[in-house]
Chains A and B, each alone.
Chain A
Amino acid sequence: MTSAQRRAAFVRARAVLVAAVLGLTVAACGGQATAPADTIRIVLPEEPPTLEACDASLTGTGVVVRSNITEPLAERNPTTGALEPLLATSWTQTTPTSWTFTLREGVLFSDGTPFDAAAAAHSIDRAVNADIDCHIQGYVFNDSLETAAPDPTTLVVTSDTPDPILPLRLSFVEMVHPSTDADGKVREPVGTGPFRIAGWEPGTRLTLERNPGYWGTPPAFARAEYQWRSDSSVRAAMVVNGEADIATGIGPEDGAEELGVSFPNNETTALRLQATEPPLDDIRVRRAIGMVIDRDGIISALFEGAGTPAAQLIPDGVIGYNPDLRPEPFDTARAQALMDEVRADGVDLSAPIRFIVRSGLFPRVSEVTQAIQYQLSQLGLNVQIQMMDSAEGLEYQQRPFPEGTGAYILMIQHGNQAGDAAFTLDQYMLSDGYQSSYGIPDFDAAIAAAEALSGPERHAALAALFAREPEEIDQYAYIAHMRGMLARSPRVHYEPDAATGDEMRLAAMTPA
């Protein structure tokens, strides 16, 4: 190659390079995907593991499925707390153990099959009575139910024992197509909801489309597209950048700025004290722990004000909430005095106490954990933080608990989706509750008595239990009633509510 040829080749190469850079720049300025006007784009923290309707109480599944693809007989209004008709127009308690539901006429599944009482009975039997291990078992139903469909619009449901809140419990059962496998779970259900599944590219996206035969008002958006990103700052950035319309599970520090919308998410954070293990088996130690948690400091400094100090495990709006309870005042001196008393009685306080926390439980969970560890160390307790992933944490959260573990404190976050304290008490406060470490027979009996009541009496009896528990058992040191945050694009109208974390209704979203 002569020097002239080399020079010509160099000039050509430079021209190609410049063209490539220009092309990239032009593409960068105008090349990003724009949203079709009729599509709402949502970015979630994780891909739903399944869309199986009977697992809709799992947050990752429920947020896509509930009231979008499938619907229940009745649903709880997250603002008023009232149970409102949906696929059932009315219900009545016909015997102490039986309820009769009148079903809505003219409802079709998204494939055109009529919805009737037989389909409803099949859905309930599948979710409650079958052996396919639906996640509402234990959380919502402990007993089996009998179902009968005397005619297409009448459904009779009978429980083993009188259940004054059976319709509320049934609001957790999503109605599925009568052909849905009764002996196995399905990944993609057919329901009666305003949307049906249009496509699921595993790992990439899930698309829903309007159900053309929907019985109710057609939703404003024709399509919904779900994607998932595990990093919260990326989720927020997608909305800021116009790539998504709604991003869930973000924190105040994720950069959504004025697009961030805070809402009460029904979650309450607390420390569960493993009261069967020394030194946590001494109620004075548990009380002292409650006194040295600086709830106001944590909420203002780490939650940036998004939360309120908690004195019980349920927030306002749930039946059984006790408005008279006040959080234990932050009082190090009183707590120290209590600990001195314990020491004087010869109790050994030197044993290590593990502080078990699920990483990613809520934004800034690590910082909150460190703050609490410091506060507990002021009492002279030897507290060691142990961060765990969900699977490992579950071993300590649910029965049967691991044995021979020594003392541990577990950070929990409880959300009562159902709106009745029974769902909280059964799990968290009965002696043998799935997530309860300790209890006493008297209190168990009081829970059973309160849960058998209905109306205002029920509310008062449940509220009294929340006042009594700290006096007699004191299994929990409450931290805060939390608030959630999502990022919302200016092109969308959507007001999140207390149910949004578990059920995000696409029909409530409209173009701005």
Chain B
Amino acid sequence: MHDRPGRTRASAGDTVLTFLRRRAVSAAIPLLVVLLGVFLLARLTGDPTALYLPESASPADRAEFAAANGLDLPVWQQLLDYLAGIVQLDLGTSLRTEEPAAEMVLRAFPVTLSLAAVTMLLAVAGALLIGSWAAYRPNSPADRTSSFLTMTAASVPDFWLAVTGVWLLAVVLGVLPTSGMDNGVLSWVLPVAVLMVRPLGVLTQVVRGAMVSALSAPYVRLARSKGADGRRVVTHHALRNAAAPALTVAGDLAVGLVNGAVIVETIFGWPGIGKLMIDAILQRDFAVLQAAVLLTAVAIFVLNIAIDIGYALLDARVRDVATV
């Protein structure tokens, strides 16, 4: 690509800053839509008063509760107060526990983040290994077996897998704890395995497809014809080209892990953001629900930027497009 007349190529630092600025602007609108959506939908689910007040609560008690928690204001006023609170980093107080919602969310978030990070790391590594191996000998029995297994893995419900895993590995074989976080690395095995199954299945298929294309590309055939070692062709030539589509899919899957975390954290008793969200929905704990969604949305935004940066590092065309 040539420079335009009168313009000089931006420095690497400027490029990244421009890229981040554009991504921030383009992410702000969906972020706002999500916040508004959750705020309004939460209020459509009903009044939390009945849950938090005794049966005998008089209309005056109910009015007092509503006033104390800002529920008596028009919805637009509640929304403005909420947005003003965000600006001041005040995300409200939990109706259920009377703790600051921000504290609850910040306590839960690292649990989910670490679970998701370990899951994605293992899923990506596993997918690269299995996908490359399957693509190296396409249509061999090993390839067909791995395709069948990964397609199955991508479609098994998390809930079924979790309960079956507990029954088989904890109760029948007794090699893993059923749940909780008390048993060190063993506590991680079942939750990570359950969360990993779908990303591993999907990613393996993506990597395999990309690798099959890459391995049949002219430059790989050329490298092979020059006598390059098979393993080196895969790791140094084909894999680099197959990594970009895998990274994109991995990003989407990482975002989807928040949904998976709801089931896995609930079943395995991990006090993460997914469990917190479910509890907040069931208890009509608006402040906690909003805080959890806000933090998750911001995390997804950051994750998407990280993916874009990774993608740009792998593919020069993306870098250039980002700054034009």
A interface residue numbers (CB < 8 A to B) = 24-25, 27-29, 31-33, 49-50, 131, 133-139, 142, 185, 187, 202-204, 227-231, 233-234, 237-238, 240-241, 243, 255, 389-392, 394-395, 398-399, 427, 434-435
Contact = CB atoms under 8 A, between A and B. Distances in A.
Interface string B107-120: 11000000000000
Nearest to A24: B185
A435 B56 CA distance: 10
Contact of A391 (B48, B176, B178, B186): B48
Nearest to A389: B282
Interface string B260-281: 0000001111010001100000
Given A133-B53, A228-B269, 14 more contacts: A28-B175, A31-B186, A32-B177, A49-B283, A137-B55, A138-B54, A202-B99, A233-B167, A234-B178, A241-B177, A243-B179, A243-B180, A391-B45, A391-B46
B185 A138 contact: no
Contacts of B56: 137-139, 142, 434
Contact of A398 (B52, B55, B267): B55
Most buried by A among B53, B61, B181, B269: B269
Contacts of A427: 55
Contacts of A135: 54
A307 B166 CA distance: 29
A185 B68 CA distance: 14
B166 A133 contact: no
Contacts of A187: 97-98
Contacts of B50: 391, 394-395, 398
Given A27-B186, A49-B97, A203-B108, A138 B267 contact: no
Contact of B282 (A131, A390, A399): A390
B182 A33 contact: yes
A432 to B, nearest CB: 11
Nearest to B173: A28
Nearest to A402: B46
Interface size class of B (residues with CB under 8 A): 35 or more
Contacts of A228: 269
Nearest to A203: B271
Contacts, number: 130
Contacts of A391: 45-46, 48, 50-51, 282-284
Given A24-B185, A233-B163, A233-B166, A136 B54 contact: yes
A187 B93 CA distance: 14
9 contacts: A138-B57, A234-B166, A234-B178, A234-B267, A237-B171, A238-B179, A243-B178, A391-B51, A394-B51
Contacts of A233: 163, 166-167
Contacts of B266: 230-231
Nearest to B282: A389
Nearest to A142: B56
B267 A231 contact: yes
B309 interface: no
A137 B54 contact: yes
